[in-house]
Structure 1
Amino acid sequence: MQIKDIVKKVKQIEIRTRKRTENTLMGQYHSAFKGQGMTFAEVRPYQSGDDIRRIDWNKTARFKEPYVKVMEEERELTMMLMVDISASMNYGTKIELKRDLVAEICASLGFSASGNNDKVGLILFADKVYKVIPPQKGKKHILAIISTILTTDYVEAEANVDAALEYMMHVFKKKSLAFLFSDFSDEFDDKLLKIASKKHQLLGLRIYDEKDNEIPDVGYAFFRDIETGKQIWVNTSSKRWRYNYAESQKQKIRDIKDAFEKSSASFVEVKAEDDYTRLLYNYFQKR
């Protein structure tokens, strides 16, 4: 894409996601991810209904009327967006590519975090971690993250989720909100997932195309795995072959969901036609 096309696409995503974020997600995000404690804000005269435990006795004695300490939540949190940039994520058969859907969801999450004065960072990975944007605040920073996801070169290699999780745990010691985007077409270490979910609040988002789950009848077809380079001829007219493929995919997803559940991490599936805003809202509500 040329620079003008990138700018146009980023702007379109900003317009679409900002309205969704402000109307639906931001308040729920704030409620779900509370701050790390309370800090002193100011002292003001006592009002009916105030907690008497907040009375500032020194101020009360000095002015001969009750004053209370006002506390506010220490809201600042860190959100990390971990995005799979293996070649299978640069694919789509209907409305949009997986990478475009990831960019839009990251925008919604990023603007929700930015609206609550939280920091947002980005980790791009495939067979290894390729790029890291350190957590920062602000709209310009979120737009830079969106642009990076849209323009990065996607890698013909198997996705190494373990490498992303290990990097996250090694570099970011403070508990963060971690959103892991992948189609989860490659294996990962269940034990490492469990360790990571204890250190950070983790949500796995499986971004998929309907053709990932089922192959249509198109006769004899030549398939090439864009990540491993493996090639094979398949007779897709065979009902048994299509059935076995679909069942193997279902079992694979069941195993992934089970691994996340046992790790006390969350997991959702998203495809282009889904209302991802509702899926995120439900996740925030459960928190």
Structure 2
Amino acid sequence: MRTALLQSSGRPGSVVENLKVLDEAAGRAAAHGAGLLVTPELFLTGYAIGDGLARLAEPADGEAADAIAETAARHGLAVAYGYPERTSDAAVFNSVQLVAADGTRLANYRKTHLYGPFERAHFTPGERQVVQAELDGLTVGLMICYDVEFPENVRAHALAGTDLLLVPTAQPHPFEFVAESLVPVRAFENQLYVAYVNRVGLEGEFEFVGLSTLAGPDGVARVRAGRAEELLLADADPGFLAASREANPYLADRRPGLYGSLV
């Protein structure tokens, strides 16, 4: 499946403008044959906007979700977008929602591992580790930024059959090594594709470093962004994934009986 990675910080604080940016990117991605567009973490609102996160938060079926569903259906491609999710009990989660090419909402994931005092001050942590959906013959999993840095998280997805793991992120300096080194290793050791899609530029106290990538199960980046806004395209090939899993015995050679001390 051709996957488009939208490396952009959009227009922090403006949902209306970010919907326009997403719509334009979806049009370009679809024109290049993409079946899926992935945005960064909290793309809908911006990341470092303080109390604006709670003010702009919406339910998973809110007005912005409807607008994105319409965008997906009009351009004929699935969209995974990061946003602050408000629930009926007024909790706010750092979430990512996957919408199908016909506008159907397929899956919604809430970030389980909040990074630093900023996120812990503004969000409630999610409690569901593995969230998946079927898309164009692939099992697609959802995760957000810091979550991918915990090997247990990605291994849980591998054991649950995830083929393509989508990771909207807001990765700041000086942690470039996560995009450059850790993400390809996660893809290799778990035999899946990882689409890691970052923000860019200065935003509040953060300097987001870009370097978005789609890493394959061989640990090789299929595409790698620089540090500017960019729309990247790369393929998650189910045939290559099957061959790689056949050749690499990591999951088959596990000895779970030895791992009790991990939990």
What TM-score, normalized by structure 2, do the two folds share?
0.37
More strand by proportion, 1 or 2?
2
User: If you compute each CA radius of gyration, which structure gives the higher value, 1 or 2?
Assistant: 1
Bigger helix fraction: 1
Q: TM-score, normalised by structure 1?
A: 0.35
